[in-house]
Structure 1
Amino acid sequence: MDALTSRRIARRAESEHGFGRLFTALLFALFLIALLIALSAGTNLYRTLGDVRDQADTSRIATGLIANSVRAADAVDAIGTGQGPEGRSLVLTERLDGGTFETRIYSYEGAIVEEYAPADAAYTPEKAARIVDSVRFSFSYENGLLTVYTDDGTVQVALRSVRGGA
Protein backbone atom coordinates (compact mmCIF):
# COMPACT_ATOMS: atom_id res chain seq x y z
CA MET A 1 0.00 0.00 0.00
CA ASP A 2 2.86 2.32 0.69
CA ALA A 3 4.13 1.79 -2.82
CA LEU A 4 0.73 2.70 -4.28
CA THR A 5 0.50 5.82 -2.19
CA SER A 6 4.03 6.88 -3.07
CA ARG A 7 3.24 6.44 -6.79
CA ARG A 8 0.19 8.69 -6.44
CA ILE A 9 2.28 11.25 -4.63
CA ALA A 10 4.96 11.03 -7.34
CA ARG A 11 2.37 11.45 -10.12
CA ARG A 12 0.79 14.39 -8.34
CA ALA A 13 4.22 16.00 -7.91
CA GLU A 14 5.02 15.43 -11.59
CA SER A 15 1.72 16.95 -12.71
CA GLU A 16 2.19 19.93 -10.41
CA HIS A 17 5.75 20.31 -11.71
CA GLY A 18 4.45 20.14 -15.31
CA PHE A 19 1.80 22.74 -14.47
CA GLY A 20 4.49 24.94 -12.96
CA ARG A 21 6.56 24.71 -16.16
CA LEU A 22 3.50 25.48 -18.28
CA PHE A 23 2.60 28.42 -16.06
CA THR A 24 6.17 29.76 -16.26
CA ALA A 25 6.21 29.40 -20.06
CA LEU A 26 2.84 31.17 -20.40
CA LEU A 27 3.95 33.95 -18.08
CA PHE A 28 7.17 34.40 -20.09
CA ALA A 29 5.18 34.47 -23.37
CA LEU A 30 2.77 37.05 -21.93
CA PHE A 31 5.70 39.19 -20.79
CA LEU A 32 7.28 38.90 -24.24
CA ILE A 33 4.05 39.92 -26.00
CA ALA A 34 3.60 42.90 -23.66
CA LEU A 35 7.18 43.95 -24.33
CA LEU A 36 6.67 43.76 -28.12
CA ILE A 37 3.45 45.80 -27.90
CA ALA A 38 5.19 48.46 -25.79
CA LEU A 39 8.13 48.55 -28.21
CA SER A 40 5.80 48.92 -31.21
CA ALA A 41 3.80 51.69 -29.52
CA GLY A 42 6.99 53.53 -28.59
CA THR A 43 8.32 53.28 -32.13
CA ASN A 44 5.09 54.63 -33.59
CA LEU A 45 5.02 57.47 -31.09
CA TYR A 46 8.64 58.38 -31.86
CA ARG A 47 7.91 58.35 -35.61
CA THR A 48 4.84 60.58 -35.15
CA LEU A 49 6.76 63.04 -32.98
CA GLY A 50 9.54 63.13 -35.58
CA ASP A 51 7.04 63.95 -38.33
CA VAL A 52 5.52 66.74 -36.25
CA ARG A 53 9.00 68.12 -35.51
CA ASP A 54 9.96 68.03 -39.20
CA GLN A 55 6.78 69.84 -40.18
CA ALA A 56 7.36 72.51 -37.53
CA ASP A 57 10.98 72.91 -38.66
CA THR A 58 9.90 73.37 -42.27
CA SER A 59 7.35 75.95 -41.21
CA ARG A 60 9.89 77.86 -39.13
CA ILE A 61 12.46 77.75 -41.90
CA ALA A 62 10.07 79.20 -44.47
CA THR A 63 8.67 81.97 -42.31
CA GLY A 64 12.07 82.58 -40.71
CA LEU A 65 13.70 83.08 -44.11
CA ILE A 66 11.09 85.69 -45.04
CA ALA A 67 11.42 87.44 -41.69
CA ASN A 68 15.23 87.48 -41.85
CA SER A 69 15.18 88.82 -45.41
CA VAL A 70 12.92 91.67 -44.29
CA ARG A 71 15.05 92.40 -41.21
CA ALA A 72 18.21 92.48 -43.31
CA ALA A 73 16.69 94.94 -45.76
CA ASP A 74 14.98 97.10 -43.13
CA ALA A 75 15.86 100.70 -43.96
CA VAL A 76 13.98 103.86 -44.87
CA ASP A 77 11.96 103.24 -48.05
CA ALA A 78 13.47 99.77 -48.48
CA ILE A 79 10.31 97.71 -47.91
CA GLY A 80 7.58 98.03 -50.51
CA THR A 81 5.13 96.24 -52.72
CA GLY A 82 5.16 95.22 -56.34
CA GLN A 83 3.05 93.26 -58.76
CA GLY A 84 4.20 89.68 -59.25
CA PRO A 85 2.91 87.26 -61.87
CA GLU A 86 0.17 85.95 -59.52
CA GLY A 87 -0.53 88.89 -57.22
CA ARG A 88 1.22 91.29 -54.90
CA SER A 89 4.88 90.84 -54.13
CA LEU A 90 6.92 91.95 -51.16
CA VAL A 91 9.81 94.04 -52.52
CA LEU A 92 12.99 94.63 -50.52
CA THR A 93 15.06 97.36 -52.15
CA GLU A 94 18.83 97.58 -51.83
CA ARG A 95 20.66 100.68 -53.06
CA LEU A 96 24.30 99.96 -53.93
CA ASP A 97 27.05 101.83 -55.80
CA GLY A 98 26.42 99.59 -58.83
CA GLY A 99 22.69 100.34 -58.94
CA THR A 100 19.43 99.57 -57.22
CA PHE A 101 18.47 95.93 -56.73
CA GLU A 102 15.34 94.26 -55.44
CA THR A 103 14.63 91.05 -53.61
CA ARG A 104 11.10 90.13 -54.62
CA ILE A 105 9.14 87.63 -52.60
CA TYR A 106 5.90 86.42 -54.19
CA SER A 107 3.65 83.49 -54.92
CA TYR A 108 4.16 81.51 -58.10
CA GLU A 109 2.68 78.14 -59.11
CA GLY A 110 1.82 76.98 -55.58
CA ALA A 111 5.05 78.13 -53.97
CA ILE A 112 6.57 81.20 -52.42
CA VAL A 113 9.62 82.25 -54.39
CA GLU A 114 12.39 84.79 -53.94
CA GLU A 115 13.95 86.62 -56.86
CA TYR A 116 16.91 88.98 -56.80
CA ALA A 117 17.06 91.37 -59.77
CA PRO A 118 17.84 94.93 -60.81
CA ALA A 119 15.03 97.29 -59.82
CA ASP A 120 13.99 98.02 -63.40
CA ALA A 121 13.99 94.37 -64.55
CA ALA A 122 10.81 92.46 -65.27
CA TYR A 123 9.74 89.59 -63.03
CA THR A 124 11.23 86.26 -64.12
CA PRO A 125 9.69 83.61 -61.87
CA GLU A 126 11.47 80.82 -63.78
CA LYS A 127 14.76 82.07 -62.31
CA ALA A 128 13.40 82.67 -58.80
CA ALA A 129 14.48 80.48 -55.90
CA ARG A 130 11.68 78.40 -54.40
CA ILE A 131 11.38 79.08 -50.65
CA VAL A 132 8.51 76.80 -49.66
CA ASP A 133 5.38 75.22 -51.12
CA SER A 134 2.46 77.44 -50.19
CA VAL A 135 -0.67 78.45 -52.04
CA ARG A 136 -1.29 81.32 -49.64
CA PHE A 137 0.98 84.35 -49.64
CA SER A 138 -0.21 87.74 -48.51
CA PHE A 139 1.06 90.47 -46.27
CA SER A 140 -0.09 93.61 -44.52
CA TYR A 141 1.65 96.59 -42.97
CA GLU A 142 0.24 98.57 -40.09
CA ASN A 143 1.90 100.81 -37.50
CA GLY A 144 5.42 99.59 -38.21
CA LEU A 145 4.46 95.90 -38.13
CA LEU A 146 4.74 93.81 -41.28
CA THR A 147 2.69 90.62 -41.14
CA VAL A 148 3.22 87.87 -43.73
CA TYR A 149 0.67 85.05 -44.10
CA THR A 150 1.53 81.65 -45.61
CA ASP A 151 0.13 78.12 -45.49
CA ASP A 152 2.80 77.29 -42.89
CA GLY A 153 1.85 80.12 -40.57
CA THR A 154 2.14 83.81 -39.96
CA VAL A 155 5.25 85.81 -39.26
CA GLN A 156 5.36 89.35 -37.93
CA VAL A 157 8.32 91.67 -38.28
CA ALA A 158 8.55 94.97 -36.45
CA LEU A 159 10.34 97.31 -38.83
CA ARG A 160 13.09 99.35 -37.21
CA SER A 161 13.04 102.04 -39.84
CA VAL A 162 10.64 104.90 -39.27
CA ARG A 163 9.06 104.58 -42.71
CA GLY A 164 9.17 100.87 -43.64
CA GLY A 165 6.43 101.55 -46.18
CA ALA A 166 5.05 98.09 -47.02
Structure 2
Amino acid sequence: MMPESTNVLDAMTAMRPARRGNKSQGMFLGILLVFFFVILLVALSSGVTVYRNVANTQANSVDAKLGLSLISNLVRSTDAADAVASADGPEGKALVLVERIDSGTYETRIYLYHGSIVQEYALANAAYTPEKATELLASSVFEFSYENGVLSITTDQGTSHVALRSEQGSA
Protein backbone atom coordinates (compact mmCIF):
# COMPACT_ATOMS: atom_id res chain seq x y z
CA MET A 1 0.00 0.00 0.00
CA MET A 2 2.84 2.26 0.53
CA PRO A 3 3.68 2.71 -3.08
CA GLU A 4 0.12 3.74 -3.89
CA SER A 5 -0.02 6.40 -1.18
CA THR A 6 3.20 7.89 -2.45
CA ASN A 7 1.68 8.11 -5.90
CA VAL A 8 -1.36 9.92 -4.46
CA LEU A 9 0.93 12.34 -2.59
CA ASP A 10 2.99 12.88 -5.72
CA ALA A 11 -0.17 13.53 -7.75
CA MET A 12 -1.53 16.02 -5.19
CA THR A 13 1.79 17.82 -5.04
CA ALA A 14 1.89 18.06 -8.79
CA MET A 15 -1.65 19.57 -8.88
CA ARG A 16 -0.85 22.28 -6.34
CA PRO A 17 0.53 25.45 -8.02
CA ALA A 18 4.03 26.46 -7.32
CA ARG A 19 4.39 29.05 -4.55
CA ARG A 20 7.38 30.79 -6.03
CA GLY A 21 7.05 34.56 -6.12
CA ASN A 22 3.81 34.62 -4.13
CA LYS A 23 5.23 37.09 -1.56
CA SER A 24 6.62 39.34 -4.27
CA GLN A 25 3.28 39.31 -6.13
CA GLY A 26 1.44 40.33 -2.95
CA MET A 27 3.92 43.11 -2.30
CA PHE A 28 3.61 44.34 -5.91
CA LEU A 29 -0.20 44.40 -5.67
CA GLY A 30 -0.01 46.25 -2.34
CA ILE A 31 2.34 48.87 -3.77
CA LEU A 32 0.14 49.21 -6.86
CA LEU A 33 -2.94 49.72 -4.68
CA VAL A 34 -1.19 52.39 -2.58
CA PHE A 35 0.00 54.09 -5.78
CA PHE A 36 -3.56 54.26 -7.14
CA PHE A 37 -4.85 55.68 -3.84
CA VAL A 38 -2.13 58.37 -3.88
CA ILE A 39 -2.97 59.29 -7.50
CA LEU A 40 -6.67 59.41 -6.59
CA LEU A 41 -6.01 61.71 -3.61
CA VAL A 42 -3.82 64.04 -5.72
CA ALA A 43 -6.51 64.22 -8.42
CA LEU A 44 -9.21 64.90 -5.84
CA SER A 45 -7.13 67.59 -4.15
CA SER A 46 -6.36 69.25 -7.50
CA GLY A 47 -10.04 69.19 -8.45
CA VAL A 48 -11.05 70.84 -5.19
CA THR A 49 -8.40 73.55 -5.62
CA VAL A 50 -9.45 74.28 -9.20
CA TYR A 51 -13.12 74.39 -8.21
CA ARG A 52 -12.37 76.77 -5.32
CA ASN A 53 -10.41 79.11 -7.62
CA VAL A 54 -13.17 79.14 -10.24
CA ALA A 55 -15.84 79.78 -7.61
CA ASN A 56 -13.82 82.68 -6.09
CA THR A 57 -13.25 84.23 -9.52
CA GLN A 58 -16.94 83.98 -10.31
CA ALA A 59 -17.93 85.50 -6.95
CA ASN A 60 -15.51 88.41 -7.44
CA SER A 61 -16.87 89.02 -10.93
CA VAL A 62 -20.45 89.03 -9.67
CA ASP A 63 -19.55 91.41 -6.82
CA ALA A 64 -17.86 93.80 -9.25
CA LYS A 65 -20.84 93.84 -11.60
CA LEU A 66 -23.28 94.19 -8.74
CA GLY A 67 -22.09 97.68 -7.75
CA LEU A 68 -22.16 99.01 -11.30
CA SER A 69 -25.59 97.44 -11.85
CA LEU A 70 -26.85 99.09 -8.68
CA ILE A 71 -25.86 102.53 -9.98
CA SER A 72 -27.51 101.81 -13.34
CA ASN A 73 -30.71 100.67 -11.64
CA LEU A 74 -30.77 103.82 -9.47
CA VAL A 75 -30.62 105.90 -12.65
CA ARG A 76 -33.37 103.84 -14.32
CA SER A 77 -35.63 104.15 -11.27
CA THR A 78 -35.56 107.95 -11.43
CA ASP A 79 -35.92 108.21 -15.20
CA ALA A 80 -38.06 111.34 -15.62
CA ALA A 81 -37.72 114.63 -17.47
CA ASP A 82 -34.65 116.51 -16.20
CA ALA A 83 -34.11 113.98 -13.39
CA VAL A 84 -30.44 113.37 -14.18
CA ALA A 85 -27.98 116.17 -13.50
CA SER A 86 -24.35 116.79 -12.68
CA ALA A 87 -22.91 118.71 -9.73
CA ASP A 88 -19.58 119.26 -8.01
CA GLY A 89 -19.01 116.57 -5.39
CA PRO A 90 -16.33 116.38 -2.71
CA GLU A 91 -13.83 114.68 -5.07
CA GLY A 92 -15.00 115.52 -8.57
CA LYS A 93 -18.24 115.33 -10.48
CA ALA A 94 -21.33 113.93 -8.76
CA LEU A 95 -24.21 112.25 -10.56
CA VAL A 96 -27.40 113.78 -9.17
CA LEU A 97 -30.75 112.04 -9.56
CA VAL A 98 -33.56 114.49 -8.83
CA GLU A 99 -36.98 113.50 -7.47
CA ARG A 100 -39.75 116.06 -7.37
CA ILE A 101 -42.57 115.08 -5.02
CA ASP A 102 -45.31 116.98 -3.17
CA SER A 103 -43.22 117.46 -0.03
CA GLY A 104 -40.22 118.91 -1.89
CA THR A 105 -37.34 118.17 -4.19
CA TYR A 106 -34.85 115.50 -3.17
CA GLU A 107 -31.56 114.37 -4.65
CA THR A 108 -29.81 111.05 -4.76
CA ARG A 109 -26.15 111.97 -5.16
CA ILE A 110 -23.64 109.44 -6.38
CA TYR A 111 -19.99 110.44 -6.19
CA LEU A 112 -16.44 109.34 -5.46
CA TYR A 113 -15.21 109.66 -1.87
CA HIS A 114 -12.01 108.16 -0.39
CA GLY A 115 -11.67 105.33 -2.93
CA SER A 116 -15.35 104.39 -2.93
CA ILE A 117 -18.40 105.37 -4.86
CA VAL A 118 -21.03 106.49 -2.37
CA GLN A 119 -24.72 107.34 -2.45
CA GLU A 120 -26.27 110.15 -0.46
CA TYR A 121 -29.96 111.03 -0.27
CA ALA A 122 -30.69 114.64 0.71
CA LEU A 123 -32.88 117.67 0.16
CA ALA A 124 -32.08 119.53 -3.04
CA ASN A 125 -29.30 122.11 -2.63
CA ALA A 126 -28.31 120.79 0.83
CA ALA A 127 -24.60 120.54 1.59
CA TYR A 128 -22.82 117.27 0.81
CA THR A 129 -22.23 115.05 3.86
CA PRO A 130 -20.06 112.18 2.60
CA GLU A 131 -19.53 110.77 6.11
CA LYS A 132 -23.27 109.93 6.16
CA ALA A 133 -23.29 108.50 2.63
CA THR A 134 -23.71 104.79 1.90
CA GLU A 135 -20.84 103.02 0.16
CA LEU A 136 -21.92 101.35 -3.08
CA LEU A 137 -18.60 99.92 -4.30
CA ALA A 138 -14.86 100.35 -4.07
CA SER A 139 -13.48 102.24 -7.05
CA SER A 140 -10.84 104.83 -7.81
CA VAL A 141 -12.70 106.00 -10.93
CA PHE A 142 -16.17 107.49 -11.28
CA GLU A 143 -16.97 109.21 -14.54
CA PHE A 144 -20.19 109.69 -16.42
CA SER A 145 -21.40 111.38 -19.58
CA TYR A 146 -24.76 111.95 -21.26
CA GLU A 147 -25.09 111.88 -25.02
CA ASN A 148 -28.02 111.16 -27.35
CA GLY A 149 -30.26 109.82 -24.60
CA VAL A 150 -27.63 107.44 -23.19
CA LEU A 151 -25.94 107.93 -19.83
CA SER A 152 -22.53 106.20 -19.69
CA ILE A 153 -21.11 105.45 -16.24
CA THR A 154 -17.50 104.31 -15.81
CA THR A 155 -15.91 102.79 -12.69
CA ASP A 156 -13.00 100.45 -12.01
CA GLN A 157 -15.39 97.58 -12.76
CA GLY A 158 -16.17 98.78 -16.28
CA THR A 159 -18.64 100.95 -18.13
CA SER A 160 -22.42 100.74 -18.04
CA HIS A 161 -24.70 102.42 -20.55
CA VAL A 162 -28.22 103.41 -19.47
CA ALA A 163 -30.69 104.42 -22.15
CA LEU A 164 -32.99 107.06 -20.65
CA ARG A 165 -36.55 107.36 -21.92
CA SER A 166 -36.97 110.95 -20.77
CA GLU A 167 -35.30 114.07 -22.13
CA GLN A 168 -32.51 115.37 -19.91
CA GLY A 169 -30.84 118.72 -19.62
CA SER A 170 -27.06 118.61 -19.45
CA ALA A 171 -25.90 115.79 -17.20
User: TM-score, with normalisation over the residues of structure 1?
Assistant: 0.89
What is the Cα deviation at residue 15 of structure 1?
A: 4.2
Q: Give 3-state SS (helix, strand or coil) of 2:128's partner.
A: coil
Deviation at 1:103, TM superposition (A): 0.2
Write the deviation string for residues 23-55 of structure 1: whole angstroms up to 9, x where unpaired.
Answer: 111111111111111111111111101111111
Distance verdict in 2 for CA 1:142–1:19, change over 3 Å: same
Among residues 82, 87, 111, which one is paired with 1:82 in the alignment?
Answer: 87
Q: Residue type matched to 1:93 in 2?
A: V
Q: Distance in 2 between matches of 1:102 and 1:72?
A: 13
Aligned to 1:141: 146
**Aligned-residue CA RMSD in angstroms?**
1.7
Distance 2:18 2:80 in 1: 93
Question: Is 2:124 aligned against 1:132?
Answer: no
**Do 2:95 and 2:109's aligned partners in 1 also have CA atoms closer than 8 Å?**
yes
**Offset of residue 112 of structure 1:** 0.3
Shift of 1:162: 2.6
State how many pairs are aligned: 157
CA distance in 2, matches of 1:13, 1:152: 74
Which residue does 1:6 correspond to in 2?
none
Equivalent runs, 1:1-166 vs 2, <5 Å: 13-163=18-168, 165-166=170-171
- Whether contact under 8 Å (1:144, 1:164) holds in the other structure is no
> Cα deviations across residues 112-148 of structure 1 (Å, max 9, x unaligned)?
0000000020100000000011111111111111111
- Percentage identity across aligned positions? 47
SS in 1 for 2:44: helix
Name stretches of at least 5 consecutive residues in structure 1 with no aligned partner: 1-9
What CA deviation, in whole Å up to 9, does each residue of 1:51-75 have, x standing for no partner? 1111111112101100000000111
Counterparts of 2:78 and 2:169 in 1: how far apart (Å)?
A: 10
Q: Retained in 2: the 8 A contact 1:75–1:164? A: no
The TM-score normalised by the length of structure 2 is 0.87
2:82–2:167 Cα contact (<8 Å) kept: no
Report the counterpart of residue 13 of structure 2 in structure 1: none
